[in-house]
Amino acid sequence: MLTVNEARERILSQFTASTTERIPLIDAASRVLAVDISANDDYPPFDNSAVDGFALRTEDTSASSSTLNVVADIPAGSAPTVTLRAGQAARIMTGAQIPQGADCVIPVEDTNFKNRSAGTVPPSMITFSQQMQAGKNIRTRGMDIRAGEIVIKQGRILKPQDLGLLATLGYTDVSVYKKARVALLSSGDELLELGAPLEPGKIRDSNSYALAAAILSADAEVIRLGVAKDTRASVTDLLDKAAQEHADLILSSAGVSVGAFDFIKEVIEANGSMDFWKVNMRPGKPLAFGSYRGIPFIGLPGNPVSAFVGFEVFVRPTLERLSGKLDGGRQTVRVRCVEEITSDGRESYLRATLHTQEGIRLATLTGHQGSGNLLSLVQADALLIIPAGVKCVPAGSEVDAILL
What is the contact surface with ligand AMP in residues (CB under 6 A)?
186, 188, 190-191, 203, 205-208, 253-255, 257, 259, 301-304, 372
**Exposed/middle/buried for residue 384 (C-beta within 10 Å: 0-12, 13-18, 19+):** buried
The option from Mg ion, ligand AMP, none interacting with 304 (CB < 5 to 8 A, set by class) reads ligand AMP
**Among residues 123 and 226, whose Cβ is nearest to Mg ion?**
226
Pick left, alpha or beta for residue 95 (phi over 0 → left; psi -120 to 50 → alpha; otherwise beta): left
Virtual CA dihedral for 368, 372, 375, 376, nearest 10 degrees? 30
Our finding on whether 279 is near Mg ion (CB under 5 A) is: no
The option from Mg ion, ligand AMP, none interacting with 191 (CB < 5 to 8 A, set by class) reads ligand AMP
Our finding on whether 222 is near Mg ion (CB under 5 A) is: no
**Among residues 201 and 359, whose Cβ is nearest to ligand AMP?**
201
Q: Which residue is nearest to Mg ion (CB)?
A: 188
CA distance 74 to 86: 18
Q: Which stretch binds Mg ion (CB under 5 A): 178-186, 205-213, 220-228, 254-262?
A: 254-262
**Exposed/middle/buried for residue 10 (C-beta within 10 Å: 0-12, 13-18, 19+):** middle
CA distance 303 to 314: 16
Q: Which stretch binds Mg ion (CB under 5 A): 60-68, 131-139, 149-157, 186-194?
A: 186-194
Residue 361 neighbours by CB under 8 Å, 6+ apart? 333, 334, 335, 336, 354, 355, 401
The option from Mg ion, ligand AMP, none interacting with 324 (CB < 5 to 8 A, set by class) reads none
**Among residues 96 and 228, whose Cβ is nearest to Mg ion?**
228
The option from ligand AMP, Mg ion, none interacting with 205 (CB < 5 to 8 A, set by class) reads ligand AMP
**Among residues 139 and 282, whose Cβ is nearest to ligand AMP?**
282
Closest CB 163 distance from ligand AMP, rounded Å: 39
Q: What angle do CA 253, 259, 265 make, to 5 degrees?
A: 55
Fill in the DSSP letter of residue 327. S
The option from Mg ion, ligand AMP, none interacting with 369 (CB < 5 to 8 A, set by class) reads none
CA distance 184 to 226: 7
Helix (H) or strand (E) holding 12: helix 4-12
The option from Mg ion, ligand AMP, none interacting with 207 (CB < 5 to 8 A, set by class) reads ligand AMP
Closest CB 201 distance from Mg ion, rounded Å: 12
Residues lying near Mg ion in the complex (CB under 5 A): 188, 254
